[in-house]
Amino acid sequence: MDNQSPPNTRRVGLDFDGVIVDHTGHKIEVAARSGLRLEPRQTNTNLFHQLVSVDDYRPMAQVIYGEMTETAPAVSGAIEHLPLIPGAAFIVSARRALWQPSARHWLTSHGVFGVIPEARVFLAADERAKVQQVIQLGLTDFLDDKLDILCDLPPTMRRWLFDEYGVADELNLPSGITPVRSWADFIRQLTQG
């Protein structure tokens, strides 16, 4: 466990893609190049992977999570609400090595390292390593837009599903995972509990 926060302090982990940075427009654009018309709600990672085959997804991901990341906007409310997180905040995201520089560039250019120190940002090689990192950090809470990640985390951790398009009802959400529709909703619930 990292010693950058006092003992008994809430340790809040955040995913990057789809939680802090918004790829909605880029997913729609790249999917359209492949002849797939998507509505914004279909860009939710849990639905997107049901609509796009693995073979089609790989080249799309290369563009979306690589070069397009640097021009992607922030998720609505993310930048404004990061300083309001109670306790120590961490970013833990699955990012292939090739895509890590674009994520770090985005975080720098949007001033995130001024709120969350770079030493608390972990870009794991894959989803399995991401889950391991979250557990190793001893996080008390984790916010992600991908249900599979949250299901792999221990039930003793408060698990939050970022669900800006309200698709949780379609996902057979397991107990112990709390959907939040916005950053304001997340901060409100986080500070109440």
Domains within the chain, CATH numbers bracketed? 11-22+73-192 (3.40.50.1000), 24-71 (no CATH)
Whole-angstrom Cα distance, residue 101 to residue 162?
24
Weakest mean pLDDT among 132-136, 164-168, 184-188: 164-168
Do 11 and 139 meet the contact criterion of CB atoms below 8 Å apart? yes
- Residue 88 pLDDT: 97
Q: Is the pLDDT of residue 188 over 80?
A: yes
- Residue 3 pLDDT: 41
Question: What's this model's pTM, rounded to 2 decimal places?
Answer: 0.94
Weakest mean pLDDT among 3-7, 123-127, 159-163: 3-7
- Residue 53 pLDDT: 86
How many C-beta atoms surround the C-beta of residue 33 within 10 A?
Answer: 10
Question: For residue 169, what pLDDT band results from cuts at 50, 70 and 90?
Answer: confident
Write out pLDDT tens, residues 22-62. Answer: 999 999 999 999 899 999 999 999 999 889 888 888 899 99
Question: For residue 115, what pLDDT band results from cuts at 50, 70 and 90?
Answer: very high
Best CA proximity match to 103, nearest among 79, 76, 69 = 69
Angle at CA of residue 12, ends 8 and 14, nearest 5°? 165
Best CA proximity match to 80, nearest among 112, 108, 102 = 112
Helix (H) or strand (E) holding 79: helix 78-81
